[in-house]
Amino acid sequence: MKDLYPGLEFGKATRDAYGEALRDLGRDHPEIVVLDADLAKSTKSATFGEAFPDRFFNVGIQEANLVGMAGGMASCGKVPFISSFAAFVILKGYDQLRMAVSYPKLNVKVVGSHGGISIGEDGASQQSVEDVALACALPDFVVCVPSDEHQMRAVVKAAFEHNGPVYIRSGRPKAPLIYDATPDFAFGRAAKLREGSDLTIIANGLLVASALVAAERLARDGIEARVIDMACVKPLDEDAVRAAAEETGAIVVAEEHLVHGGLGARVAQAVCTSQPVPIEFVGLDDTYAESGDPAALMRKYGLTWKEVEAAARRVVSRRAGAAR
Amino acid sequence: MLHEAASGHPGGSLSAVEIVTALYFGGVLRHDPENPEWPDRDRFVLSKGHGVPVQYAALAMAGYFPIDELSTLRKIDSRLQGHPVLGTAPGIEASTGSLGQGLSIGLGMALAARLDANDYRVFVLLGDGECQEGQVWEAAMAAGHHRPDNLIAIVDYNKFQLDGATADIIGLEPLAAKWESMGWKTREIDGHDMRQVLDALQWSMSAGEPACIIAHTVKGKGVSFMEGENAYHGVAPSDDELARALGELDGEDPEEQHAHALGSDHVLEEAEKSIDAESQANGKGGAR
């Protein structure tokens, strides 16, 4: 994976940071309970379970029951964090997320690990390419896709402090470092990582690193890209999107997800209701992926800095065409 | 209520009348209509959410909201949604209506009580057709593992579901053996015999393990033309049917004195008498 992010240092996987952040929060907050569905060693919720076994429930391979139990616990004052692979907790627990969490607005935090296709060799059944779209479709849910270990820690803390349902996607591989310490973070507020006036690249997850690499390459040709880390997909920082449209006039959205229904769709909605400008999308185009080395998958399915750079050049040229 | 709403599920509401009456008025649920959010209250989760008219009637009778409000069921701006919604009508403990989910929610509540060293109890009423849902057995298996002694499942075994007889669609038998195999203490009763219902609920609270009451019932019980007639699964009574049904439930015809109408003095008196004795005997029960 290192070849995909030239010039960037690597930190821990966001799933590792999740387990540690949860354990740290658990020390001061006895109301936190953690549930997993037989993937605790993979999602890293086991890090909490080892520290607080009395507040940790491994429900076995029962995603529907996992979500329902969490709803019951939340209605009795607990703050449940529930984990499984993103593909399982969202898809197999979806009706339960609707009935036992979203509809009654209960204080449940859902953390789906192994998001995207960078999980690699296990293949498409374990990869999650539609979780963000589905989570965003649940009313009252906050939806976040952190880019690195530091941001994950900030997101977990914000999720605990927020009274309501939250979905967080974590990733399997070690992630390039975007921040050097836990950043300031609030739901609905984007982080501007790089200033630029020619276009804006809005990304989350691993694609934030790709965006930064692409921006460096573009700068060699005099194209200055603003880069925004939009970890919080919902609520979207519409002010940041509007400013990007007004001030840079062209937008690329990049995410490790289907291009429909995720960050790209939400950014497009915000743009077309404020300041319409050309947008290009980097993501999976109506397809599942397959087994393979994570880096090979990211290349084959077009989720590297190269695709982001190409999209940037396309969108800048579209804007120039529109101006003529 | 259903006539007024011109829609709803009379059959599965009537089959659960004695069960719900016993819970609210038989000294079983420790609850406080003046304080629905009382943290130590017992919880009642209606997993078969389509039966909510019987729960709304009981909640109104208990004083959670005005009886007049029952006529707003299923109408715009009403707190009485067509299926239960947490945070709308006081006394509703979970949002249900997508079948199969209430036992998981109840298990979560029961384990939360254990974590807090609280002794509140959680009663979950399931439909029989609902037991075809896989999630019911996920929750049953998980409860068998965690063994909360404050979790009680009641199956309203009225033998029918929307499309017909459960035995013809996906048979449930042997139902008691299924629950027992998952680690539940199980008892089968006549769900229309108030004495048996009350006895079973008292038994379930001291079972020391998750307890399941399989209540054999009749869909549409108490209304002669609805009893066992599955056409009334999800169809509200017409003007004429309403008049006949209320006549029967009020005991207009001495042959038809079922005394199953909620609030029937006969049922309530019976319940109060038997429970007074039992709650004194075991030192718990009764409204707060």
| Confidence category of residue B273, pLDDT binned at 50, 70, 90 | low
Using CB atoms, pick whichever of A55, A60, A105 lies closest to residue B142. Answer: A60
Subunit contact A64:B95, Cβ cutoff 8 A = no
Cα B259 to Cα A95, A136, B214, distances in angstroms = 39, 50, 22
Report the phi/psi class of residue B239: left, alpha or beta, with left for phi > 0 and alpha for psi in -120 to 50: alpha
Alpha carbon distance B42, B31 (integer Å):
6
Token code pair at residue B150: 């404050």
Residue B68 DSSP label? G
pLDDT digits (tens, 9 = 90+) for A17-47: 999 999 999 999 999 999 999 999 999 999 9
Question: Which residues of chain B does A75 touch, with a Cβ-Cβ cutoff of 8 Å?
Answer: 86, 93-94, 105, 108-109
Looking at the complex, report in whole angstroms how far the Cα of residue A104 sits from the nearest Cα belonging to chain B: 6
Q: Determine the pLDDT at residue B253.
A: 52
Task: Provide the whole-model pTM.
Answer: 0.93
Using CB atoms, pick whichever of A33, A76, A99 lies closest to residue B95. Answer: A99
pLDDT digits (tens, 9 = 90+) for B42-100: 999 999 999 999 999 999 999 999 999 999 999 999 999 999 999 999 999 999 999 99
pLDDT digits (tens, 9 = 90+) for B169-226: 999 999 999 999 999 999 999 999 999 999 999 999 999 999 999 999 999 999 999 9
- Looking at the predicted structure, is the pLDDT value of residue B254 above 60? no
> Which of A34, A55, A56, A76 is the best substitution to test chain B (most B C-beta atoms within 10 A)?
A76
Overall average pLDDT of the B143-160 stretch: 98
pLDDT digits (tens, 9 = 90+) for A202-212: 999 999 999 99
Report residue B287: phi and psi, to 5°.
Answer: -65, 155
ipTM of the complex: 0.94
Low-confidence ranges of chain A (pLDDT < 70): 324
Using CB atoms, pick whichever of A68, A78, A98 lies closest to residue B139. Answer: A68
Subunit contact B142:A69, Cβ cutoff 8 A = yes
Subunit contact B111:A60, Cβ cutoff 8 A = no
Q: In a 3-state reduction of DSSP, which class is residue A55?
A: helix
Subunit contact B112:A72, Cβ cutoff 8 A = yes
Q: Determine the pLDDT at residue B233.
A: 86
CA pseudo-torsion sign B92, A136, A180, A8: positive
CA of A59: which chain B residue's CA is closest? B142
- Looking at the predicted structure, is the pLDDT value of residue B260 above 90? no
Cα A254 to Cα A148, A201, A207, A211, B27, distances in angstroms = 16, 7, 6, 8, 60
- Looking at the predicted structure, is the pLDDT value of residue B164 above 60? yes
Question: Which residues of chain B does A99 touch, with a Cβ-Cβ cutoff of 8 Å?
Answer: 95-98, 101
Question: Which residues of chain B does A68 touch, with a Cβ-Cβ cutoff of 8 Å?
Answer: 101, 103-105, 107-108, 135, 139
Alpha carbon distance B124, A41 (integer Å):
33
Looking at the complex, report in whole angstroms how far the Cα of residue B243 sits from the nearest Cα belonging to chain A: 36
Subunit contact B142:A33, Cβ cutoff 8 A = no
Looking at the complex, report in whole angstroms how far the Cα of residue A62 sits from the nearest Cα belonging to chain B: 6
Placement of tokens 């963000």 in the chain: A132
Q: Residues 47..106 of A with a Cβ closer than 8 Å to B: which?
A: 54-55, 57, 59-60, 62, 64-65, 67-78, 80, 95-96, 98-100, 103-106
Residues of A with a known catalytic role? 63
Comparing A192-206, B124-138, B166-180, B267-281, which segment has the lowest mean pLDDT? B267-281
Question: Which residues of chain A does B126 touch, with a Cβ-Cβ cutoff of 8 Å?
Answer: none
Do B175 and B28 touch, CB atoms closer than 8 A? no
Q: Higher-confidence residue: B22 or B279?
A: B22
Q: Determine the pLDDT at residue B276.
A: 53
Subunit contact A33:B101, Cβ cutoff 8 A = no
Alpha carbon distance B281, A263 (integer Å):
62
Using CB atoms, pick whichever of B45, B94, B138 lies closest to residue A62. Answer: B138
Q: Determine the pLDDT at residue A184.
A: 97
